[in-house]
Each structure stands twice: as structure tokens, then as C-alpha cells.
Amino acid sequence: MHGKSRSPNATLRRSLTIMVAMAVVFVFCAPAMAQSSHTETPAIPILKGGYVLTDVQICVSGKGQSSQITGRASFDPASGTLKLNGYIATGDPLTLNHLRQSLSYSNSASTVTLGDTVYQVTYGKLEKGIATYLSLIAAVDPCAAQIWLSRQ
């Protein structure tokens, strides 16, 4: 080693230092490596409580109708019921009307079903398993619908 010889004690101390460093790396990295290689089914987010809702629907047949809904959506996971209280802008001429509606709902890791319509979903941040934000999209010929929900 560059022309210098080490004493047996120095070599032993160096070997022990390297072994301790390797043990520390193993202790802290092994759980992360095991976790990343373990395939786990993602938990299904819970939809619960009040959300601010925005719903935009665009239809391409005929005159190309559209509607927009804004309001508060309340999800009850025990009953599988969504209650909507808000406003809808639709029609020709365009009018704004109060809207109250109850729908059944269910969700999985990749879809949300509202009534009879199945939407593809992207979930945002979860807090204790509850979705705080989600974005839904569906195409039901001749219309496309996109819904954004933000938990309050």
C-alpha cells in the first residue's frame, strides 16, 4: 500500500470500521429494499364526508350541448350514497338552476361508479386512507364528463 506497511492493530481497526459501516448500511437499507421489491395491492381510497364538486359535461351530437355543475357532494361509505347540493348551468338559452340529487356510488383503486356511470379515477393525496382530491372522467356517447372533487 504505497510502500508503507500497516501494523496488525491498524489493519484490524480498519476492517472493523468497514464491517460496522456495512452493518449500518444493511440495517437501514434492507427494509427499504425489501419494501420496494414487495408487490402490494394498493388500498382502495375511502370517499367520506364533504367535497367541493365541479362537473363539466360536453356532448358532441346535434348542437353540441354542454352543462356545468358546482356544489357540495357528501359521501356516506356506510350506505354507498352520494348527496349533491349545488347548481347546474345548462340549456339553450343557458339557465342556472338549483340541483339536489342522491346517487348510489362505489369505488375501486381505478374507477368510481356514480349511479350507472363508471368513471376512470385519479386519486390525489390520502389522509388516513380518505381521498382528499380526485379527478374522474367518463365517455358516455355522445357526451364526455369530467368531475373534480376536493375534500373539505
- Is the predicted pLDDT of residue 6 greater than 90, yes or no? no
Kindly tell me if the per-residue pLDDT of 2 is higher than 60.
no
Q: Rounded to two decimals, what is the model's pTM? A: 0.71
Gap between the Cα atoms of 101 and 114, Å rounded = 11
What single-letter amino acid sits at 99?
L
Q: How far apart are CA 71 and CA 137, in angstroms?
A: 18
Residue boundaries of the structural domains of the chain: 1-40, 49-151
Give the pLDDT confidence of 90-141 residue by residue, as tens digits.
988 899 999 999 999 999 999 999 999 999 999 999 999 999 999 999 998 8
Report CA-CA distances (Å) from 143 to 74, 99, 130. 25, 20, 30
Are the CB atoms for 33 and 49 separated by under 8 Å?
no
Q: What is the CA radius of gyration of the chain?
A: 28
Strand partners, 141: none
pLDDT in tens, 87-99: 999 988 899 999 9
CATH tag, 49-151: 2.40.128
Q: Count CB-CB contacts under 10 A for residue 74.
A: 17
